[in-house]
Every structure is written in structure tokens, then in C-alpha cells.
Structure 1
Amino acid sequence: MTPTTYHRASRYLHWAMAALIFYMVFLGWTLEDKDGGLFSRYQMHKSVGFLILALTVVRIGLRLAYKAPPEIEGPKWQMAAARLVHIGFYVLMIGLPLTGWALVSTAKVPVPTLWFGVVPIPHLPLSHDLNDVFHNLHGLFAKLIFYVLIPLHVGAAIMHHFIHRDDTVTRMLPGLDPKPAILKSALNYRWLLPLVIVIGAFVGATFLMRGAKPVAAPVVAEAEQSPDSSTEASAEISPESVVVADDASTSASQAASEESTALPTWVVNKSASYIRFATTFNGEGIRGGFGAYTADIVFDPQQLDKSSATVVIDLASVNSGDAMRDDSLTGADFFGVAQHPKATFKSTTFTKTGPDKYLAKGKLTLHGQTKPFNLPFTLKITGDTALMTATARLNRLDFGVGSGEWAATDAVPAEVSLDLKVSAKAK
């Protein structure tokens, strides 16, 4: 027998997917808000996208398994347009999630996807050079479905139900009066209630995510060095860490002023020194360091008022153990080395805070921003050899490091842990 309505499962899927698509449109708008819940909304956006992809495949299977009601007769152009819109929805409901998947897979920063926080979704084996292509394609598909297909589909349904008064809408909503008076039909739309509840729940959940205060992930600290470790052993860290190694080259200090000629200048042994940082990404520890830097140090514990230190770091030398992540760190969203290739810490004010303990008060220039920065450190001098160690915390957002979606702190915390070790000889 020829059916007069779509199969029940197809009808349920139709309205469920309509709610999900409208929710995705709303959620996409909120991705422009750079607040603390941005990362959570991105994860929800990806999860719902994969859900729509799965439901579309099920919907196609149901369409093949169960016979659809016959087309409503009308002008040929209207029937052709209806078929094109119908096909267009299927193409875009598959194309949007797939281009989104490709967009995530080709991003410079490999952000893992957990489907509703549980099931890991692997990245597609695609070149990162295609990221812009998939970004533009995904945006085009989103505009087509929202600004073209949805208005055409909804407008045609309204026209068929209220003007032509045929059975087009009742095939997807059995029980409606196929030839209603306009006011009576509007008042009898009790089927809108569950749809409003579904959309309202998603919208409410999104507002909650936007307003929720993110919990900053703990910063991973470096493991302490064993006191009996040799100089060479202390320079070795775990595979996730980065050893800032170089030839035993030295960096001669600039000529000091006549006042401080009596102060020793210190030449850094880079093979026994390092500048490291530690942070987290989605709770996973990330450690890195910088392989190229210069240190200009004139220091005497007995003449702190005449001491000075200037450290210049080549930010392009960052190494976090992942080349793709390093490309992102040097890019415009983070360090922006094209415009700001160096980070500089300069101090001319030192205070002794305890036995072998000091505080360097100075200014740090990073990402084009110069701000006061204090560095507490421990210094032990044995003969002509000095060993300085220091740990500190830096708020990356104070310097504008991490823009766009990375300005949120739910994926990458604002605070970054710094770990320094400098071994030097007096010149």
C-alpha cells in the first residue's frame, strides 16, 4: 500500500534533527564570544555535529528501508525545487560535519575531540595546509543551510499548509487538519511544545556553559633535580620536556659603565643551563623550553645596587616536543614572532631576601607588551662559578599571549610556570 505519511522513526528523526540544527546555529553564534566557556562550547559544537552526521546516516537508511509517501502534484518548477532542497539538506547535513571534522584535523594546534566528553574521535589524515580550504567550505555550508535551505523549506511548508491547503505538512505531522482555517490551525499546534522544550533545553545549557566559571587546570611543575646529579645529568629531562642545549659557547656581556667595572661579569654555560616553561592543555601536562637566548649579567652580592641583568630570548626557538604545536606557539595567536621575535627581561634592582636568596625586580617585554616582573631566585657562588635557579609564574593574558579561542582559560590556563637554571663563570 502507498503510505500517506513518512515512517514514524523518520518523523521523529526529522524533528529531532531540526532542533539540533537550530541549536547548532545558535551555538555557532556564541563561538564569537571569547569568554571562559568558549572551549566547552567548541567541544559541544563538535559533539552535536558528529551526532547530526550519525543521525543523517540513519535517516538515509530509513528512507531506503521504508517507502515514502508520493509527491504532492504541482507545477514542475515547484516539484523540481522541492527535490533540490531535499537533496541539498542531505548533502549539507553530511558535508557540514565532515568539513568541521576536517577543519579540526588540519588545525595547527591538535585539539582532541571527545564525543560528549566520552568517546575519542580521531583526526583525519589530512595536510595542515588545507585548513583554510576547509574553514571557508565549512562556513559556506553553514550559510547555505541557514540562509537558503531552511527559509525555503519552512516557507514552502507554510505555503502548502495555509495557501494550497494540501497534505504536504501532515505527511510529517499526521493528525493535523490538512485544510485548516489559519487561526484554528495555529491554535492547534500543540506539537510545537516538545520542540520548544528541546530547543529551550539546549539554549539553556549553552547559557549555563557561557556563564560558568572555568576551573583552571593545575600547572605542571618540573621535577626537582637530584642534589647529587652531575651537571650533564641535570640537563636531561623527560621526553615531554625540552632540554635547552647548545655548544659550550658563551655570551660576553656588554661593556659595563665605569662605575661597575669592578663587578664581575658572568659568562653562561648553556650546556648546563636552561629556560623552561610548563602548562597544561585539557589537563595534559605540556613542557617546553627555548634553545636560543643571550644573557648579559653583571652581578656582585656585595654590590647589589650596581648589579644588572638582561636576558633576551629568541621566541622562534621554542620547543615543546611537538613541531605542529611549536608552529602554533610562534604564530599570531600566541607569541606572534613575525612582529615580536624576542622576549626581554631586564633588571637593575636586586634585593637579598635570605641566605643565598634574592629578588630581581625588573621589566619583561613579551608580545609587544612591557610590564613589571619580579623574579625570585637562589644563587650559590663557589669560587668563580655561580649556579642560579628560579621558579616563577607568569600570566600569559597580561601580555596578550593567546588570542581568539585561546583567550579562554578552560583549555589552557592563564598562569604558566617558569623554571630557570643558569650556570656561569666569572670573567
Structure 2
Amino acid sequence: MIQRLAHTASVVALGAALAAGAAFATTFTTNANAAAEAAKNSVTAVFKQMNVPVEGRFNHFTADVRFDPANVAASSAKLDVEVASFDIGAPEYNKEVAGDEWFDASHFPHASFVSTQIKPGANGAFTVAGKLTIKGKTTDVVVPVQYRKDGANQVFDGTLPIKRLAYGIGSGEWKDTSIVADDVQIKFHIVSAAH
């Protein structure tokens, strides 16, 4: 039961990850270079189960990011995530978190993030405001992102905190935050070819 809870919480975190990863992913295509870039990307969700940190990974997502550090106001980001691809390390738990009480992937197969504004900060920091939709619930979020160049690539890192219950993730007995915490940290590392 405890493991079941942990997996479920991971799914919640995953939804938040969408927003974070969406902010700076690139459109992935089937060419070799794009595949290599996609392999460098990660979106993970960290939460506490029985006060012990647990981390899961979101495996399938597509994104369209148009980012120009010289013209940030014209930059944009969109992300679409297949919620059933959340992976906490065991097929039976992955199936459970895709179920009705957690992501309800049969009714809400995708989570999404669409940016509305990107603002520059100091020392490579940016804030990305946008609409995060998980399980049919849309909220306004602001994602802090750290940006840097790495050769011909752009690299984006950040963490987005969310509350899983705000998106209806974890219903019934899983609303109990003493077992699976409401707080979820979405961490992302996105590498994309500079345009």
C-alpha cells in the first residue's frame, strides 16, 4: 500500500513536470540529431511518501519551443505529455497511477503546458508564465528556468513546485497528505539545438 501511494504521488509530480519541461523543450523529430538531443532530456517528479523522498520519470512528451535570448518577448513554448508514460520503476505501479484515482489516463490521456509570457532575469535566469492543464484542470503557473549555451545547444534547467490535489490527483483515500505529500517538485533538464 505504501508503495502504491508513492507511485501515485509520482504521477502527480509528473503533471507538474509537464509545465516545467514544456517551457524549454524542442520539437522532437525522427532524425538522428533530434533523437540524440531528446535522449539528453529529463523530466522528473519528486515527492514524499511517508516523509521519504520518491522520484519518478516521465518518458513520453512532445514540445515546441521557440526561444531566442535576444528576443525573449517573442519566444514561446508548448508541451504535450502522455500521462500514461509516467515511470516509477515497476509496471504494476505505473498502471495504477495511470488509473482513475490518479491521472485517469483513459479520460485525460494528455497533460499540457502553453506559455503566455517569458521574462529574462539575472545571470541566465528566466521566468516562464503559462497555463498548465492536468486531468482537465487548468491553472496559471510560473516556472523558474536557468538557461545556458553549450556549444551549438541551448540548455534549460528548473524546478516547478505544485500541489497535486489542485489537479485532482489522488482521490478518495489518496487525498490523505500524511501518506503521500501534497507538495511535488517537478525537475527538468532540457537540451535543444540552438535555432
Relative to the length of structure 1, the TM-score reads 0.38
Higher normalized helix content (fraction of residues):
1
User: Match for 1:288 among 29, 41, 56?
Assistant: 56
Corresponding residue SS for 2:138: strand
User: Match for 2:114 among 318, 322, 346?
Assistant: 346
Higher normalized strand content (fraction of residues):
2
Matched-pair contact (CA < 8 Å) for 2:101–2:169: yes
Structure 2 residue 75 is matched with structure 1 residue 307: yes
Amino acid at match of 1:418: I
Structure 2 residue 4 is matched with structure 1 residue 109: yes
Corresponding residue SS for 1:328: helix
Matched-pair contact (CA < 8 Å) for 2:5–2:174: no
Corresponding residue SS for 1:337: coil
User: Match for 1:272 among 40, 56, 59?
Assistant: 40
Q: How far off its partner does 1:284 sit?
A: 2.8
Corresponding residue SS for 1:311: strand
Amino acid at match of 2:124: D
Matched-pair contact (CA < 8 Å) for 1:311–1:344: yes
Residues in 2 aligned to 1:307 and 1:368: alpha-carbon distance in whole angstroms: 26
Matched-pair contact (CA < 8 Å) for 1:305–1:348: no
Work out which structure has the larger RCO, using CA pairs closer than 8 Å and 6 or more positions apart in sequence: 2
Corresponding residue SS for 1:409: coil
Q: How far off its partner does 1:108 sit?
A: 9.0
Corresponding residue SS for 1:301: coil
- Matching residue of 1:401: 169
Structure 2 residue 161 is matched with structure 1 residue 384: no
Matched-pair contact (CA < 8 Å) for 2:5–2:49: no
Gaps of 5+ in 2: 7-26
Identify if the C-alpha distance between structure 1 residues 324 and 284 changes in structure 2 by more than 3 Å, giving closer, same or farther. Answer: farther
- Matching residue of 1:357: 125
Would you identify which runs of 4 or more consecutive aligned residues in structure 1 move more than 3 Å? none
Amino acid at match of 2:99: G
Q: How far off its partner does 1:355 sit?
A: 1.2
Corresponding residue SS for 1:413: strand
User: Match for 2:87 among 308, 319, 328?
Assistant: 319
Corresponding residue SS for 2:165: helix
What pairs up with 1:128-167 in 2 under 5 angstroms? none
- How many pairs align? 171
Residues in 2 aligned to 1:299 and 1:110: alpha-carbon distance in whole angstroms: 38
Q: How far off its partner does 1:308 sit?
A: 0.3
Residues in 1 aligned to 2:104 and 2:56: alpha-carbon distance in whole angstroms: 17
Matched-pair contact (CA < 8 Å) for 2:116–2:131: no
Corresponding residue SS for 2:178: coil
Q: How far off its partner does 1:300 sit?
A: 0.6
| RMSD, matched Cα | 2.2
Q: How far off its partner does 1:110 sit?
A: 7.0
Residues in 2 aligned to 1:321 and 1:418: alpha-carbon distance in whole angstroms: 17
Matched-pair contact (CA < 8 Å) for 2:5–2:179: no
Residues in 2 aligned to 1:395 and 1:297: alpha-carbon distance in whole angstroms: 25
Matched-pair contact (CA < 8 Å) for 1:297–1:308: yes
Q: Which has the larger radius of gyration?
A: 1
Matched-pair contact (CA < 8 Å) for 1:109–1:324: no
Corresponding residue SS for 1:109: helix
Gaps of 5+ in 1: 1-103, 112-249, 253-266
Residues in 2 aligned to 1:386 and 1:110: alpha-carbon distance in whole angstroms: 36
Residues in 2 aligned to 1:366 and 1:341: alpha-carbon distance in whole angstroms: 9
% identical equivalent positions: 25
